[in-house]
């Protein structure tokens, strides 16, 4: 089967790999209908995260169940499913508390499971899914029905970026009437705009200096856009709010500057939800949080949990997170997909096997 393999910085190839098989009673094999490239995939692609050896890549997919291990009863062969970007057991304390991203057995795509078996990357034609009992998320509609309704991109967004944007807003305790600043105009930030409005925010300020992304942010629910960065951006937020600051901020980048901005744009007693994968040394000053009574929460999103919350809104057409995909390519062109995102010619690329 064809699958994406990263060999080194800026070296991603579509290669033939072995067809996945059921290796444990808790496995499933899923035929991939759509996958995509994530902003976090760009860290190894750009050489920020070293690539020690060639490995399969990708962690977002929707597909159809082709095979099931004998212990998997949560789905049936033929079901259309969404896969969260991390797989989990569903029974440990963290999973029971609603945080499967912190599962005792958490397993990532392109890694190995707890039995030492290799796990495929999501950017491929088929994927073996360990911990399938909890990780498979059946949508309840057929592939043909979902394709005809144009829902596949919106469902794919639930695998990571929409769930992650929602985690940012939920962690910041966004509620009715709030003013929210979203720091970051990538796919997660844009989905953070959707999430903030879904949770009742009255005013959402998207920080974006790219005209195409700013326009999409407005389409998805942003009421204002600030193009400036750093302290100039904070001053622009104050100007928009008549000298005030926001009730909450969503940090969706993962750098020191983005975290500083998120902390600076919220009022005393404000809240920050952070979901940007930490790169570039973002740090928190406890003294700063103490003096301004700022509450901060977030981290890796438990997508499997949020998929249940968000699915009805996607199926009803109330939210359209799939709009973050502005380029679609065949899996065979995966190298071009990475280059397009790296060069900011695309916000997020959808891949079709």
Task: Provide the CATH number for the domain around residue 256.
Answer: 3.40.50.720
Q: Which of 280, 298, 316 is a domain's end point? A: 298
Per-residue CA distances from 132 to 49, 56, 60, 198, 304 (Å): 29, 19, 15, 30, 12
Residue 278: pLDDT band by 50, 70, 90 thresholds?
A: confident
Whether residues 185 and 150 share a domain: the answer is no
Whether residues 167 and 156 share a domain: the answer is no
Task: Provide the CATH number for the domain around residue 41.
Answer: 3.90.180.10
Domain count, the chain: 2
pLDDT digits (tens, 9 = 90+) for 187-221: 999 999 999 999 999 999 999 999 999 999 999 99
Whether residues 152 and 6 share a domain: the answer is yes
Whether residues 125 and 196 share a domain: the answer is no
pLDDT at residue 29 tops 90: yes
Q: What is the mean pLDDT of residues 82-86?
A: 98
Whether residues 225 and 325 share a domain: the answer is no
Whether residues 23 and 143 share a domain: the answer is yes
pLDDT at residue 87 tops 80: yes
Whether residues 110 and 181 share a domain: the answer is no
Q: What is the mean pLDDT of residues 25-50?
A: 96
Whether residues 194 and 280 share a domain: the answer is yes
pLDDT at residue 281 tops 70: no
Q: What is the mean pLDDT of residues 256-275?
A: 96
pLDDT for residue 282: 61
Residues 6+ apart with CB under 8 A from 184: 192, 207, 250, 251, 252, 253, 258, 276
Residue 18: pLDDT band by 50, 70, 90 thresholds?
A: very high
pTM for this predicted structure: 0.96
pLDDT digits (tens, 9 = 90+) for 147-195: 999 999 999 999 999 999 999 999 999 999 999 999 999 999 999 999 9
Q: What is the mean pLDDT of residues 40-69?
A: 96
pLDDT at residue 280 tops 80: no
pLDDT at residue 119 tops 70: yes
- Rounded mean pLDDT of the chain? 96
pLDDT for residue 283: 73
The three state secondary structure string of 198-265 is: HCCCCEEEEECCCHHHHHHHHHHCCCEEECCCHHHHHHHHHHHCCCCCEEEEEECCCCHHHHHHHHHC
Whether residues 177 and 287 share a domain: the answer is yes
C-alpha span between 153 and 161 (Å, rounded):
11
pLDDT for residue 211: 95
The helix (H) or strand (E) run that includes residue 168 is: helix 161-171
Both structure tokens of 204: 């959402």
Whether residues 88 and 209 share a domain: the answer is no
pLDDT for residue 98: 96
| Residue 8, strand partner residues | 11
Domain range enclosing 74: 2-160+303-352
Whether residues 82 and 152 share a domain: the answer is yes
Residues 6+ apart with CB under 8 A from 150: none
């Amino acid at each position: 089967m064809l699958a994406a393999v990263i060999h080194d910085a800026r070296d991603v190839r579509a290669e033939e790999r072995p067809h996945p098989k059921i290796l444990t009673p808790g496995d499933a094999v899923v035929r991939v209908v759509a996958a995509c490239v994530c902003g976090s995939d760009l860290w190894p692609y750009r050489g920020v995260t070293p690539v020690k050896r060639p490995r399969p890549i990708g962690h977002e997919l929707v597909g159809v169940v082709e095979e099931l291990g004998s212990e998997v009863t949560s789905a049936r062969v033929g079901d259309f499913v969404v896969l969260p970007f991390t797989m989990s057991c569903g029974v440990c304390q963290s999973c029971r508390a609603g945080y499967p991203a912190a599962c005792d057995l958490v397993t990532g795509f392109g890694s190995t499971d707890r039995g030492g078996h290799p796990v495929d990357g999501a950017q491929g034609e088929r994927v073996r899914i360990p911990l399938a009992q909890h990780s498979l998320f059946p949508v309840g509609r057929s592939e043909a029905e979902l394709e005809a309704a144009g829902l596949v991109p919106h469902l794919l967004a639930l695998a990571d970026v929409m769930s992650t944007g929602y985690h940012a807003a939920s962690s910041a305790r966004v509620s009715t009437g709030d003013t929210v600043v979203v720091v970051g105009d990538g796919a997660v930030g844009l989905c953070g705009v959707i999430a903030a409005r879904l949770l009742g925010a009255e005013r959402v300020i998207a920080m974006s200096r790219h005209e195409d992304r700013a326009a999409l942010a407005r389409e998805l629910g942003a009421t204002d856009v600030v193009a400036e960065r750093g302290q100039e951006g904070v001053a622009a937020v104050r100007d928009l709010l008549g000298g005030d600051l926001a009730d909450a901020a969503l940090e969706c980048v993962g750098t020191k500057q983005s975290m500083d901005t998120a902390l600076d744009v919220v009022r005393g007693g404000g809240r920050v939800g952070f979901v940007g994968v930490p790169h570039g040394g973002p740090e928190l000053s406890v003294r700063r949080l103490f003096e301004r009574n700022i509450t901060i929460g977030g981290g890796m999103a438990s997508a499997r949990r949020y998929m249940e919350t968000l699915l009805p809104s996607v199926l009803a057409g109330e939210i359209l997170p799939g709009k973050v995909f502005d380029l679609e390519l065949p899996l065979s062109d995966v190298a071009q997909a990475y280059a397009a995102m790296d060069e900011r010619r695309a916000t997020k690329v959808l891949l079709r096997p």
